[in-house]
Structure 1
Amino acid sequence: MRTMLLSFKPEWYNRIKEGSKIFEYRRTFPDEEILAYMYVSSPMKMIVGKIHLGRKIDINTWKEEYKEDAQVCERVDDFLTRHTYAMPILSFRMTKEIDLETLRKFNPNFVCPQMYYYLENYPELFEFIKKNATDIGKPQVNSFENIGKEEICRKQY
């Protein structure tokens, strides 16, 4: 499984942390399971946790699957204006925080990901993050056995 540094806005990170967001939506994403360290943008500007993402799901398949349900199809159409794929958030775990200042002290050329980048491409940074973003507490595991239609392209408020 590959590992990436994945950028999140604080509102989405908080919803993942509280367990109300169980799918991550993106326009582009690799078709494989991913372990991602979560970099949360301003005002936090730090790595705060990690998530295990399942393989991507083309959102269009939900439109076909729920074609008899106008509300789901409306939500899918809305999401398709911004996203193409949904990745199940299989688990989330808090880590010791690494703030932007610390990342830049380690490597003055550190750049926050616009979306994501693979940490295997930056072995020294990857080792630094693994060493310093140590696990805190128990993982939060999401079950996808009985996902209801209300979870499909659910608006996050």
Structure 2
Amino acid sequence: MKTIFLSFTPEPFYEPITKGVKRYEYRSRFCNEECYAYLYLSAPVQKVVARIKFGKRIELESWEKEFSDDEEAMKRLKEFKTEGKRYAIPILEFQEIAPVTLKRIKEQFTDFRPPRSYYILDNNPLLLEYLDSIQLLGNKLVNDLTCIESAEVCTY
């Protein structure tokens, strides 16, 4: 399974993931397969803080059919699509790791620059090995995504 380095805006998106409230990530482009991701919080945090398992991306257009009777869900879908979002990516699992600063990563991997979106870590096996060696913290959060409620469509 592919592993990526995912850049993420800290506020207001990170905390809801840690609590299992945000169960989908929305992006304009994303891998079309299940994958693991090391979550990098951009400035001002600038740390890798978690490991996430993502499910296969879902095209937002498919939700337009499913939730066509829900005016509020349709309004949010339209807004997200206007912002350029095309996919909902299910957050299957989430686990925090011992935080690693960008400075520390750059000390060991001098050519590394955090991506604006994501970077496939399989293309940098030494960095992937390093991140895989970092201690996991707490319990793994596993989201039950057997169904999605309309109130969850295009939130966060």
TM-score normalised according to structure 1 size? 0.94
Following superposition, the deviation at residue 18 of structure 1 comes to 2.2
Q: What SS does the corresponding residue of 1:30 show, helix, strand or coil? A: coil
Following superposition, the deviation at residue 75 of structure 1 comes to 1.0
Following superposition, the deviation at residue 137 of structure 1 comes to 1.4
Give the match for residue 28 of structure 1.
Answer: 29
Structure 2 residue runs without a partner (length 5+): none
- Runs of 4+ with deviation above 2 angstroms: none
% of aligned pairs identical? 35
One of 121, 124, 127 as aligned partner of 1:119: 121
Count the aligned residue pairs: 154
TM-score normalised according to structure 2 size? 0.94
Superposition CA RMSD, Å: 1.1
What is the alpha-carbon distance in structure 2 between the residues aligned to residue 55 and residue 107 of structure 1?
A: 30
Give the match for residue 17 of structure 1.
Answer: 18
Following superposition, the deviation at residue 100 of structure 1 comes to 1.0
Structure 1 residue runs without a partner (length 5+): none
Following superposition, the deviation at residue 66 of structure 1 comes to 1.3
Alignment of 1:120-135 (within 5 A): 120-131=122-133, 133-135=134-136
Following superposition, the deviation at residue 52 of structure 1 comes to 0.5
Alignment of 1:79-90 (within 5 A): 79-82=80-83, 83-90=85-92
